Amino acid sequence: MRIKNRIFSSAALASAITLGLTSQAVAQQDWDAINEETLRHFRALLQFDTSDPPGRELPAAEYLRDVLEAEGFEVEMLANNDERPNVVTRLKGNGSKEPLLIMAHTDTVNVDPAKWTFPPFSATVDGGYVYGRGAVDDKDNLAAGLMVMLELKRQGIKLDRDVIFLAESGEEGATEFGIEFMINEHFDKIESEFCLAEGGSVARVNREVQYAGIQSVEKIPYQINLTATGVAGHGSVPLQTNPVVRLAKAMAAVADWPSPIRLNETTAAYFERLAGISPPDAAARYLAVLDPLGPKRI
Ligand SMILES: [Zn+2]
């Protein structure tokens, strides 16, 4: 896995900072310094082996807690397993709007180091890329979310809504330690109108959302069962009537299918508001997403 760190740090951070807060302009910042700090946290988080199973997110959680506490945040470590805590903190808004939740998960899927060019927990920077397990799932969002909290506080941005940060454990198949636990035992700590999670998804957080990847319904999985029949053959004679050949053609047709893109109300509002607080060229790009000739709303 690799990620071009510049793209990640500026775009994710800027869009997250501006979402749903106030209409005040974000002050001119030293983005080089912010990029550098973001990369430092990103690499530090990648260097914790939190592959799940077994998970053991504790060191990553402690890292986040320590960074946040050093900046004056009150941080809670909420857990039903000492090795797998969830990290929660909150910036208070003026209460005129419901909270925004920024969440990311501290665990990663497993890894076979033999297949890696660089050790998967080295966070090696090479040629403008950062190599590490979790670099695009989900320690990129974790680092971005952390930086959003830090910058909102440092810049003293006045908030209409509370901004909550949740670093969740067990997303990769052990949600009983993470989001399920949080929803069942500590829902008041994360209840919010919007949630930014993996991939920048936006959703209303409610008790019905019982799984880790809280997302809006933009991504709709379709399961397709393909059954091919035909005559048996020999590998040296790939008959057109052979079921494997037919199956391959069917697979190719599925792969070539241009899946329609439709935006629901939540995501459309996200792009509209983002356009409203962006420079003209960026605003045009966001509004193009809503173009009636482009993606359709649902
Ligand atoms: Zn993920």
Q: Where are the domains of the chain?
A: 2-216, 222-298
Distance 136 CA to ligand 1 centre (A): 8
Distance 182 CA to ligand 1 centre (A): 17
Q: Which residue has the higher pLDDT, 19 or 95?
A: 95
Distance of CA 264 to the CA centre of its chain: 19
Distance 200 CA to ligand 1 centre (A): 12
Distance 106 CA to ligand 1 centre (A): 9
* CATH superfamily for domain 2-216: Zn peptidases (3.40.630.10)
Average pLDDT, the chain: 84
Does residue 3 register a pLDDT over 50?
no
User: What is the rounded average pLDDT of the residues 192-209?
Assistant: 61
Q: Which of 92-96, 150-154, 257-261 has the lowest mean pLDDT?
A: 257-261
- pLDDT classification of 269: cutoffs 50, 70, 90: confident
- pLDDT classification of 216: cutoffs 50, 70, 90: low
- pLDDT classification of 108: cutoffs 50, 70, 90: very high
User: What is the rounded average pLDDT of the residues 100-128?
Assistant: 95
Q: Model-level pTM?
A: 0.69
- pLDDT classification of 266: cutoffs 50, 70, 90: confident
